[in-house]
Amino acid sequence: MRIRILVNSAIALGLALAFAACGSDSPTSPGGGNNGTIAATITIDATGNVTPKDVTVPAGSRVTFTNNHTASHQMASDPHPEHTLCPALNSVDFVAPGQSRTSSNLNTPMVCTYHDHINDTVAALKGTIRVQ
């Protein structure tokens, strides 16, 4: 019985260390030089426009999308429909009216463009996040 407890404990410890070593871009795992601070809020206003349309944030920070529109939106990185340019934005996903969602850490300096997956051709719901 004692050996089984020791083996199970060793396995649990090994798994915990393995997961910790993997790291991630999740909102609970800060990275970069900004420790996951929310550096910008992009609002979908009552008329269905993102504002500001272009923001610049430091590497390691996050961006919050707030929906003040009457419709739900699904914010995602370009290109549509793959959403591969800036995967940290894809954690925002579905934002219902009155809700806010925050991206994962934007760790890589780059230009991230985004759109509303539900309304991918609507220019008013597209924007740019410059990560520096």
89 lies in which domain range? 26-131
Q: Give the pLDDT score at 36.
A: 86
> Over the chain (132 residues), what is each successive 10-residue block's mean pLDDT?
47 40 36 73 98 97 97 96 95 94 96 96 98 98
**What CATH number does residue 87 fall under?**
2.60.40.420
pTM, rounded to two decimals: 0.73
* Residue 13 is assigned to a structural domain of this protein: no
* Residue 2 is assigned to a structural domain of this protein: no
Q: How many domains does the chain have?
A: 1
Q: Give the pLDDT score at 1.
A: 55
Q: Give the pLDDT score at 125.
A: 98
User: Would you say how long the chain is, in residues?
Assistant: 132
Here the tokens at position 13 are 């410890």
* Residue 69 is assigned to a structural domain of this protein: yes
* Residue 18 is assigned to a structural domain of this protein: no
